[in-house]
């Protein structure tokens, strides 16, 4: 029988605290989710760190080692529910999580959840955790430095999410297994100034989330102009009759380097 509406449940495990899951009905959904494993995990990482940023918490670093543990557990729950549709019974914590993650941690925790029938299931998982005090406490805890994420979809289209949190002292690094994150939001640069030889053009960039350090490269008809790497550019005789744009590259530690391009100006006079 199809669901009468989207459904979900969740459970949260801190170091010693277990929050009981809220179990909903057990009729199988009629439509499968379409979010890939990679997309789901990326959405959950971005949503978690966006939530931490909004609450003045430091960003959590991602780790392939923690991802592996989280993904294996998410996949195991999806597999179990595919075999028999009982999501309320399937939802559980990984009893070996603390032994499976790299040693040396000072704090560890886990959030698990599932939902069925949502058009954006990964984003919904983040919303479910944020809306529950115990799960939200894990997401915002200052004890944690690293995050691993698992995301899987069962044959009924239900999405299963796992967050594995761990705190490591400064002497302990997971750099060998770190994965780069993507920006929550970026914006194209804009160009202001008079389009005339001898005038100065200025590039401006609306703040990215999180913030980034920017470098600039001015271009003429899509080709880089030698030495034109400042925030401003003084139009020269060679620019007359051509279009100018600027490439802005944002960089931040532990983030994928991102480049954005402005719109091209009309022909320079």
pLDDT in tens, 27-42: 445 454 578 888 999 9
What pLDDT band is residue 253 in, cutting at 50, 70 and 90? confident
Q: Buried b vs exposed e over 130-143: b needs ≥16 C-beta within 10 Å?
A: eebebbbbbbbbee
**Residue of 156, 161, 159 lying closest to 32 (CA atoms):** 156
The pLDDT tens digits of the residues spanning 177-194 come to: 455 667 767 899 999 999
Tokens of 70: 């989280």
**Distance separating alpha carbons of residues 191 and 188, to the nearest angstrom:** 10
Collapsing DSSP states into helix, strand and coil, what is residue 191?
strand
Predicted confidence at residue 181, as pLDDT, reads 67
Predicted confidence at residue 265, as pLDDT, reads 96
What pLDDT band is residue 24 in, cutting at 50, 70 and 90? very low
pLDDT at 85 over 70: yes
Of 128 and 15, the one with more pLDDT: 128
Predicted confidence at residue 217, as pLDDT, reads 97
60 within 8 A of 130, measured Cβ to Cβ: no
pLDDT at 95 over 80: yes
Predicted confidence at residue 175, as pLDDT, reads 52
Predicted confidence at residue 19, as pLDDT, reads 33
The pLDDT tens digits of the residues spanning 97-138 come to: 988 888 888 899 999 999 998 989 999 999 999 999 999 999
Structure letter (DSSP) for residue 36:
-
pTM of the shown model:
0.60
Q: In whole numbers, what is the pLDDT of the chain averaged over residues? A: 84
Q: What is the CA radius of gyration of the chain?
A: 24
Predicted confidence at residue 210, as pLDDT, reads 80
Of 19 and 76, the one with more pLDDT: 76
**Distance separating alpha carbons of residues 6 and 125, to the nearest angstrom:** 12
The pLDDT tens digits of the residues spanning 202-252 come to: 999 998 878 889 999 999 999 999 999 999 999 999 999 999 999 999 998
**Residue of 260, 266, 265 lying closest to 206 (CA atoms):** 260
Place of tokens 């599932």: 114
Predicted confidence at residue 174, as pLDDT, reads 57
Average pLDDT over residues 58-80: 92
Of 161 and 9, the one with more pLDDT: 161
End-to-end CA distance of the chain: 68
Of 56 and 15, the one with more pLDDT: 56
């Amino acid at each position: 029988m199809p669901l009468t509406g989207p459904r979900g449940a969740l459970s949260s495990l801190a170091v010693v605290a277990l929050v009981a899951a809220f179990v909903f009905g057990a009729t199988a959904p009629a439509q499968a989710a379409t979010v890939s494993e990679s997309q789901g995990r990326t959405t959950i990482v971005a949503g978690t760190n966006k939530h931490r940023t909004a609450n003045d918490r430091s960003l959590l670093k991602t780790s392939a080692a923690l991802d592996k543990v989280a993904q294996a557990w998410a996949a195991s729950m999806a597999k179990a529910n595919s075999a028999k549709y009982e999501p309320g019974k399937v939802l559980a914590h990984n009893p070996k999580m603390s032994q499976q993650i790299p040693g040396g941690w000072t704090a560890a925790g886990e959030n698990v959840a599932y939902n069925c029938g949502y058009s954006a299931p990964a984003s919904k998982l983040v919303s479910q955790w944020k809306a529950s005090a115990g799960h939200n406490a894990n997401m915002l805890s200052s004890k944690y430095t690293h995050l691993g994420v698992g995301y899987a979809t069962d044959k009924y289209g239900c999405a299963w999410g796992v967050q594995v949190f761990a705190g490591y002292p400064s002497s302990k690094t997971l750099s060998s297994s770190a994965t780069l994150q993507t920006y929550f939001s970026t914006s194209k640069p804009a160009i202001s100034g008079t389009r005339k030889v001898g005038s100065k053009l200025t590039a401006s960039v609306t703040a990215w989330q999180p913030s980034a350090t920017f470098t600039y490269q001015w271009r003429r008809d899509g080709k880089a102009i030698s030495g034109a790497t400042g925030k401003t550019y003084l139009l020269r005789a060679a620019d007359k009759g051509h279009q100018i744009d600027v490439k802005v590259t944002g960089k931040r530690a532990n983030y994928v380097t991102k480049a954005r391009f402005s719109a091209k100006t009309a022909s320079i006079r």
